[in-house]
Homo-oligomer: A and B are copies of this chain.
Amino acid sequence: MATDRRRAILEGAARVIARRGVRGLRMEELATEAGVSTALIYYHFKDRAGILRHTLEFISDRADRYTSDQGEGEDGSEGGSEDGDDAVRELERSLLLEFQDLPEVRENSTAWGELRASAIFEPELRGDLARATLAWIHDVADLLGGIRPTAPAPALTASAERLTALLEGLSTRWLSGALPLTHARELTKEAVAVELERLAKID
């Protein structure tokens, strides 16, 4: 079916971009990967830029899903820590999802980083990217707000901006082999702790 093929192409694009980068994305390789002809790609997506745009959208939707979807192994009752310990773990979990050596995660991180980097030279990618980034920052700010409910909103936003930008920086280092996964995770956890201390001090 039409929709199936479309999806197959987008999934293939995410894989190829993760493997070769945006700069390495070749229509023919994508066609093979998705099990279709090159012509069909153009039928569904007009041109190369169209594929990139839709792949970005596809990727960020998928990331939303694996970020929120996580089935908790815990039962629903609040254990007893009054300082929002669960909320802290929830925030850490959400951020650390980026640092797992699973194909889908690697794929998402790589493609995201690639598209972010490409946006420097391809302004038509900027709109979607900005929207997705803003949504991410907002989610993280909400999680921080759950931990420090009385902290002022601008401070929450600033912390969220730093944490997400840090994650992007660390992620690029990880993917380029400059930073071991475990170390990336440690640095992230400490960053969370450090930002929470700051928020505690402020409110």
Q: Does A117 contact B (CB under 8 A)?
A: yes
A120 touches B110 (CB 8 A): yes
B126 touches A117 (CB 8 A): no
- Give the dominant DSSP class at A's interface: helix
Q: How many copies does the complex hold?
A: 2
B158 touches A187 (CB 8 A): yes
Q: How many residues of A contact B (CB 8 A)?
A: 44
Q: Bound state CA distance, A20 and B107, in angstroms?
A: 25
Q: Does A49 contact B (CB under 8 A)?
A: no
B116 touches A176 (CB 8 A): yes
Q: Does A197 contact B (CB under 8 A)?
A: yes
A172 touches B177 (CB 8 A): no
Contacts of A161 in B (CB 8 A): 187
Q: Bound state CA distance, A129 and B140, in angstroms?
A: 31
Within the complex, what minimum Cβ distance (angstroms) separates A102 from chain B? 17
- In the complex, per-residue mask of A20-45: 1 if CB is within 8 Å of any chain B CB, else 0: 11111000000000000000000000
Q: Does A153 contact B (CB under 8 A)?
A: no
Within the complex, what minimum Cβ distance (angstroms) separates A135 from chain B? 13
Q: Does A2 contact B (CB under 8 A)?
A: no
Q: Bound state CA distance, A178 and B119, in angstroms?
A: 10
Between A and B, 11 residue pairs with Cβ closer than 8 Å are A21-B121, A23-B121, A113-B117, A113-B120, A117-B176, A119-B177, A158-B187, A161-B187, A162-B190, A165-B169, A194-B197
